[in-house]
Amino acid sequence: MIVGTAGHIDHGKTSLVRALTGIDTDRLPEEKARGITLDLGFAYVPLDNGDVLGFVDVLGHERLVHTMIAGASSIGMALLVVAADDGLMPQTREHLQILSLLGVSRCVVALTKIDLVDADRAIEVELDIATLLDGTELADAAVFPVSTITGAGIAPLRAHFLTEAARRATLDAASPGDRSFRLAVDRSFSLAGAGTVVTGSVVAGEVRVGQSVLVLPSGLRARVRGIHAANHPVEQAKTGERCALNLIGPGIRKDAIGRGDWIVDPEAASVTRSCDISLRLLGTERSALKPGTPVLLHHGAGQASARVLLLEPAILPPGATGLAHLALDRPLPLRHGDRLVLRDTAASRTIAGGRALDPRPPKRHRRRPVRLDVLRALTTTDTRQALLGLLAQPPFLLRRDLLQADWGLTDAGLTALLPDTLAVGSWLITADAVGALAREVTEALAVFHARQPSQPGIAMEALRLAVPTRRPRDSFAALTVHLVASGVVTAAAHLLRAPGHRGGLAGEDARLWDSLRPLLETDPYRPPLLREAAERIGCGDVALRRACKGFARLGLVVEVAPDRFFAREAVMGMAEAAHALAAEIGGSGFTAAQFRDRLGNGRQLAIQVLDYLDRRGITVRRGDLRRTGKAPRVVFGGSTEEPVAAAGG
């Protein structure tokens, strides 16, 4: 368990940590000379069960509040220090505000320097402390009167921390490892014979020696060469522990990593330049927060400039909460649930705090009711309920990989949180949402078939636009495959239809298709030009061109070049031949001449086919060579079914 101190300058934080641990956290010569703490200090107490009780000694000076936030951002418990002679002071109040904004709900108050005051003064300050904490999450914090000079109260305070550490260890042992590794860096330095070392608190997950990690936001890759925790080498470190990581890798050096960076699992890594958040403006502010207010954003041990764009309400009065959008001046590795502290641009006061809701917000329509409903669903601190709330909002599905990156969830953690969801491709969706989609699709197909009974089916994109709930293209494609496998929809070439529907050609179109089809199948890779086919069939160019355009919409033919129509199966065969040729030749690709020889259809026709395949992304041209792109079956879908002629056709 990590305990972080808080309180005004010269109230005895460092002396109290020294009395509790026997360690002087002031390590810099200037700190010892001036008698004040200038940077974060650390002390550790080994426990009987093998765990460690750690202390982060923060700074009390008003000009160093940003460093205090860095130290308090990942603590499990706060030690609020108030001197009995001075009583409550400005940084006492601001540090308490910061602890509240960071979500620190466990706290102990040390009333120091009781040897300098009488009993009445000690009681007076205790009452002031109770009044200050009243109405906050820390209202029940125990108060321990202590003196580092006489030793009074030190033993009971130490015993309290040992009891809390044992309780925390029991809770940690019972909680599942559902979060991916993440460490907030507060120091980076070099050691002779070891190289680059970073120190910080493990905010989530665990890390082991030999593990691959990523430095964010720079994106540098590294490997953990060694781990030290409480000044001893260990094989692993887990959530709630402070540790030092010896990192090795290309570009890894002390000046490439600094305070405010994060070391994370590469499988759950992302950065963002914007984030939608829940926001609370402190009641001590004199005026409302206006849209576009510039702020200093504190996240973990780092800070960045940002601008606050209010989503709801339009103006946020003091003491109120709302929804807002943060526009950052540089990328940050924000995750859902991260606690944020906002200070004014002059760094003179703390003005607000927030909690990251969505680090991947939309670029437009941020204030639409449906979007605000999504953000409201995310405000709960219960992760499972937040995810279920998100799945209950349109489009009723989530990308698994993005979800794990933005929420820092492992595979096991996501499965444990959402055991009843279905995995459809790379998407997660509930059974109820699949049922609702099936009903929407069935109704949309019924309407389409009623309006165009002769058509064999509807294109996937047209069907996506026809259903009431608008879903992203790639997710709708994956869901459609699921519906086809479930028998809700039947696939015919690139078209979709209701099971049992048999549309087809009728009248003159059916006659023209019966005449054209043999011409296309006789020499499938060298079909006649449209005017040649019209002469052989015995119809006009205009009539056949109109009919072929309709055949193309039905998926029977493909217009590879102007007035050059191929049977769909022939185009698929040529596309697969291009992929097979590329696989045989290898290297950088094949030439048009090699493709011509493979098909035996002449240079001009081979080039027309290759140009078409380039446009569809099946092949990719680089100079005179082509290499493979998308798989033909992905572009064209399955094989074509024979259209059934309507009665009398």
Give me the CATH number covering residue 291.
2.40.30.10
Domain identity same for 30 and 96 = yes
Mean local confidence (pLDDT), 85-105: 87
Give the range among 349-363, 519-533, 540-554 with minimum mean pLDDT.
Answer: 540-554
In a domain, 648, yes or no: no
Mean local confidence (pLDDT), 134-141: 86
Give the range among 9-18, 175-184, 349-358, 480-489 with minimum mean pLDDT.
Answer: 175-184
Domain identity same for 374 and 384 = no
pLDDT at residue 38 is higher than 70: no
Domain identity same for 29 and 145 = yes
SS (H, E, C) 396-409: CEEEHHHHHHHHCE
pLDDT at residue 351 is higher than 90: yes
3-state secondary structure of 316: strand
Final residue of a structural domain among 378, 399, 424: 378
Domain identity same for 536 and 588 = yes
Per-residue confidence (pLDDT) for residue 50, from 0 to 100: 65
Domain identity same for 631 and 516 = yes
Domain identity same for 88 and 186 = no
In a domain, 608, yes or no: yes
In a domain, 12, yes or no: yes
Of residues 214 and 33, more confidently modeled: 214
Residue type, 482: H
Range of the domain at 194: 182-268
Q: Which residues contact 462 (CB under 8 A, 6 or more apart)?
A: none
Domain identity same for 425 and 326 = no
Mean local confidence (pLDDT), 239-247: 89
Mean local confidence (pLDDT), 509-518: 89
Per-residue confidence (pLDDT) for residue 612, from 0 to 100: 95
- Predicted model pTM: 0.74
Domain identity same for 305 and 358 = yes
Q: How many separate domains does the chain show?
A: 5
Structure confidence at residue 35 as a pLDDT band (50, 70, 90) = very low
Angle made by CA atoms 43, 47, 50, in degrees to the nearest 5: 110
Per-residue confidence (pLDDT) for residue 138, from 0 to 100: 86
Per-residue confidence (pLDDT) for residue 645, from 0 to 100: 32
Order of strands across the sheet that contains 77-83: 41-46, 52-57, 2-6, 77-83, 107-112, 142-145
In a domain, 645, yes or no: no
Per-residue confidence (pLDDT) for residue 225, from 0 to 100: 96
Per-residue confidence (pLDDT) for residue 264, from 0 to 100: 96
Domain identity same for 455 and 534 = no
Final residue of a structural domain among 248, 268, 288: 268
Residue type, 387: L
The CATH number of the domain holding residue 475 is 1.10.10.10
Per-residue confidence (pLDDT) for residue 186, from 0 to 100: 86
Domain identity same for 415 and 323 = no
pLDDT in tens, 583-617: 998 878 999 999 999 999 889 999 999 999 999 99
**Does residue 358 contact residue 313 with C-beta atoms inside 8 Å?**
no
Structure confidence at residue 510 as a pLDDT band (50, 70, 90) = confident
Final residue of a structural domain among 126, 141, 174: 174
In a domain, 644, yes or no: no
Q: Which H or E element spans position 356?
A: strand 350-358
**Does residue 438 contact residue 483 with C-beta atoms inside 8 Å?**
yes
Per-residue confidence (pLDDT) for residue 633, from 0 to 100: 73
Mean local confidence (pLDDT), 378-396: 91
pLDDT at residue 32 is higher than 60: no
In a domain, 647, yes or no: no
Domain identity same for 148 and 226 = no
Q: Two tokens at 108?
A: 């102990």
Give the range among 145-149, 194-198, 340-344, 453-457 with minimum mean pLDDT.
Answer: 453-457
- Percent of the chain surpassing pLDDT 90: 55
**Does residue 119 contact residue 177 with C-beta atoms inside 8 Å?**
no
In a domain, 76, yes or no: yes
Domain identity same for 104 and 197 = no
Q: Two tokens at 382?
A: 């219960």
Per-residue confidence (pLDDT) for residue 164, from 0 to 100: 84
